[in-house]
């Protein structure tokens, strides 16, 4: 079977360059190209040479449609608006889209579901294998512990991250809520400031930290009056996200159109 040609949206950024290197290092995969915003210095360059690898002829485009035409799959860690456009392009060409973008609004997630009628889309707030294990464990622990335990989600990321709480933190909150058989939107407390009053029983709280170059730290705390359980994942290198995304692209090859998650890729049961 020929190598899977994988393109990278936003390929000149930190995450984009990590993805290009991961694709080149993964058996069965080949760099299919990349995109950058119009006017960027990388436009027209060889995508592999952009990260110091031997040139392959796969180019960096300013038009994402050209990238989808050149590739079997595209990995997107960009911005919500761009991800929605990329989903539509994948749908029109019946291609694979791996979307790791965070901060999507409900209507944008609905656009992905609509695109998945004809495209094969893997969408996850976090492509890390370890984080997806944490999601499973969080749901189980929340189901096992009684209402005496308060749930708080703490996350920290680098100073350049633009959305808060992180998509992973919200996914952890949803996992905890699912374990308790409640809807996160009905119990989430995403900010506290001033005289807030006592904590309401059953709430799931979020705390956000930003600073430095932290790749991503997440902790789910289960606190009672007498003890505390903390489940923590710390990302030390962006390669854990890129390896998960490339793994998802390989898994999606040959799969029918639909909207999938990392649970499907990793074979986890809900």
Residue 244: strand, helix, or coil? helix
Q: Is 157 a catalytic residue?
A: yes
Active-site residue (options: 86, 139, 157, 218): 157
User: 10 Å Cβ neighbour count for 236?
Assistant: 10
Active-site residue (options: 161, 183, 234, 255): 161
Dist CA 3 CA 149 (whole Å): 49
Dist CA 181 CA 240 (whole Å): 31
Q: Is 161 a catalytic residue?
A: yes
Burial (CB < 10 A; 0-12, 13-18, 19+), residue 42, is buried
Q: Are strands 150-157 and 216-223 parallel, antiparallel or unpaired?
A: antiparallel
Helices (H), 94-128: 106-115
Note whether 61 and 16 are within 8 A (CB): no
Would you please indicate which residues are annotated as catalytic (active-site) residues? 157, 161
């Amino acid at each position: 079977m020929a190598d899977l040609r994988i393109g990278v949206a936003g390929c000149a950024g930190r995450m984009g360059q990590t993805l290009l290197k991961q694709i080149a290092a993964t058996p069965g995969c080949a760099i299919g190209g990349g995109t950058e915003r119009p006017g960027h210095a990388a436009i027209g360059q060889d995508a592999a040479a952009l990260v110091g690898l031997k040139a392959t002829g796969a180019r960096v485009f300013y038009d994402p449609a050209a990238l989808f035409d050149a590739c079997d799959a595209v990995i997107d860690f960009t911005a919500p608006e761009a991800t929605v456009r990329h989903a539509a392009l994948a749908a029109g060409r019946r291609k694979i889209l791996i979307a790791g973008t965070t901060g999507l609004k409900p209507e944008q997630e609905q656009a992905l579901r609509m695109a998945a009628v004809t495209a094969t889309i893997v969408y996850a707030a976090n492509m890390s294998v370890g984080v997806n294990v944490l999601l499973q464990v969080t749901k189980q622990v929340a189901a096992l512990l009684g209402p005496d335990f308060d749930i708080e989600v703490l996350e920290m990321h680098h100073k350049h991250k633009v959305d808060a709480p992180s998509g992973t933190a919200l996914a952890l909150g949803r996992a905890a809520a699912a374990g308790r058989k409640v809807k996160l939107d009905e119990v989430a407390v995403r900010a506290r400031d001033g005289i807030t009053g006592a904590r309401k029983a059953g709430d799931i709280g979020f705390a956000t930290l930003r600073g430095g170059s932290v790749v991503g730290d997440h902790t789910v705390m289960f606190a009672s009056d007498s003890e505390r359980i903390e489940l923590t994942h710390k990302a030390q290198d962006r390669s854990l996200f890129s390896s998960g995304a490339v793994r998802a692209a390989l898994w999606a090859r040959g799969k029918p159109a639909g909207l999938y998650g990392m649970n499907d890729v990793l074979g986890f049961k809900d």
